[in-house]
Amino acid sequence: MSRLTRETGVIYNFSKEHSPVKTVSPGTTLTIETYDCFTDHIQTEDNVMEQLDWDKVNPATGPVFIEGALPGDILKVKIEKIEVGEQGVMAVVPGLGLMGDTIDKIQAKIMQIKDEKVIFNDIEAPINKMIGVIGVAPEGDPVSCGTPGDHGGNMDNKMVEEGATLYFPVAVEGALFALGDLHAAMGDGEISGSGVEIAGEVTVTLDVIKGEKIEQPMLENDYVFSQIASAETLDEATNQAVSLMVDRIVAKTGLPMSDVTMMMSMVGQTEICQVVNPLKTARFIVPKWYLKDLQITLI
């Protein structure tokens, strides 16, 4: 199995100008090692940074050039496995997150990971390992790894976990894929601006899909298919996620917009990914039993 260490190279923004640190063929399974979102700088509760620099957070390991991936294609990323370290960190920062106006100084808390639990004071919370930053290079200007967008990036979507498959619109040759910002646990919204930040490694299988197009990332697991969208407000992100999904089902089935809209209002789910990054991220979820009854696949 191919491997990419974090020492090979990390990026702090997704950009078409980055030189790839590895080139792979479609179908390659690759293990990617990551730092935590603070580049492992916070090892004790005393050595916290004095100011959060959005341009120096969430290092993503990569980028990886996938042979044959061209603008207009879709990059398919199957998350085979996520492994995390034994120690994580959370932080609160003045002005960051939904409670940022109540925080007067940066504080960090170190947490141990033991027996599939996160130890927070005397509480043992179950882990839910997920990837905060994952995506491809955008067509236009570089996008900070602290920001989500059409390319993916800092979506902080807790469904990006083991067993999930993501689909990204390819905007540049080779896609220039990278990932980082692992969490041992994180709730929908990530209201403090921090999950349980942790180093680790992720094993993915990368493939290229021709003949299909998407505008924003999509995700599927064994039970649902999800449209992800990021925008300046949560309302806009939700509207985009719903509209893109409904339009896709209409295009795939030829059913009337009114029928699909009613069915989605009955069985679809609008959910929050995160509300703390420079753009907000939402997802719209459709159960796979519905797609099976329609006898369609979305990608």
Q: What is the CATH number of the domain that holds 242?
A: 3.10.28.20
pLDDT of residue 44: 79
Range of the domain at 275: 218-294
Answer whether residue 235 is part of any domain: yes
Domain boundary among 189, 209, 229: 209
Number of domains in the chain: 2
pLDDT of residue 106: 86
Which residue is it, tokens 């979820």?
A: 285
Residue 50 pLDDT level (bands cut at 50, 70, 90): low
> Within 13 Å and on the Cβ side, how many CA atoms surround 83?
6
Distance between CA 294 and CA 278 in Å, rounded?
A: 37
Answer whether residue 299 is part of any domain: no
Domain boundary among 192, 209, 226: 209
Q: Are residues 241 and 97 in the same domain?
A: no
- pTM higher than 0.75: yes
Distance between CA 117 and CA 5 in Å, rounded?
A: 26
Q: Judging by beta carbons within 10 Å of its beta carbon (0-12, 13-18, 19+), is residue 1 exposed, middle or buried?
A: exposed
Q: Are residues 144 and 25 in the same domain?
A: yes
Answer whether residue 48 is part of any domain: yes
Looking at residues 264-282, what average pLDDT do you find? Answer: 98
Total Cβ atoms within 10 A of residue 21:
17
**Share of residues in the chain with pLDDT > 90 (%):** 90
